[in-house]
Amino acid sequence: KEKEEATKFGEVQESDGEESEEEPEIDIKDVTISDEEDEDEDDDMGDDEDETEEEAVDRIRGEISDRYDSDMSIIGTLVNTLEDLNIPRITIDASRKPKVVSYSLTQQLRS
């Protein structure tokens, strides 16, 4: 009965010396661990040239700018699609207190 309940809830029972035909035996001697992924990551970093703080700031600013441009493009496409489907656009000033924002949103949705 315990085995049935364990199977029902996805628990694994300890074997009583009997091995299931479904689960193959794995010999630890046959398992090898590869460090190739770690070596590839180290190669990408480039040990010859270190990035200065100014270069890092420029690179991060560029990445943020690219992400912002991409997100704004997606938002523009979404707004156009919503307008095509005749879904009204509601603009809320979210810089105010949450209670005021909630009230404003509720009032605009009701009208």
pLDDT digits (tens, 9 = 90+) for 57-108: 999 999 999 999 999 999 999 999 999 999 988 888 999 999 999 999 999 9
Rounded alpha-carbon distances, angstroms, from residue 102 to 89, 106, 110: 16, 6, 12
C-alpha to C-alpha distance for 111 and 109, rounded to whole angstroms: 6
C-alpha to C-alpha distance for 60 and 54, rounded to whole angstroms: 10
Is residue 76 within 8 Å of residue 82, measured between CB atoms? no
Tokens of 54: 């100014």
> pTM for this structure?
0.45
C-alpha to C-alpha distance for 102 and 7, rounded to whole angstroms: 49
